[in-house]
Amino acid sequence: MRWNFEEEYGSAEFAAYEWTYWHESGEPLDDRPEKILVPLDRSLKGANRVLEIAEGLLKPGGEGILLHVILPSSPRIVDLGYVPARELEKHERSRAATYLNYFAERLNSDRCRWRGEVVVARSVADGIAEVAARENVDLVAMYTHNRNGLTKWLKGSVSDRVRRYVSTEVRIVRAAEFAPAQ
The closest alpha carbon to 56, from 11, 90, 113, belongs to 11
Q: Is the dihedral of CA 89, 95, 98, 101 positive or negative?
A: negative
Domain carrying residue 125: 12-178
pLDDT string in tens for the chain (182-residue length): 223 333 444 455 555 554 444 445 555 556 788 999 999 987 777 777 788 888 888 888 999 999 999 988 776 676 667 778 888 889 899 999 999 999 999 889 888 899 999 999 999 999 999 999 999 999 998 887 665 655 555 556 777 888 888 888 888 877 555 444 44
Residue 18 within a domain: yes
Residue 6 within a domain: no
What CATH number should be reported for the domain holding residue 123? 3.40.50.620
Q: Distance from CA of residue 31 to its chain's centroid?
A: 20
pTM (2 decimals)?
0.75
Residue 1 within a domain: no
CB 70, CB 96: distance < 8 Å: yes
Domain count, the chain: 1
CB 147, CB 111: distance < 8 Å: no
Residue 2 within a domain: no
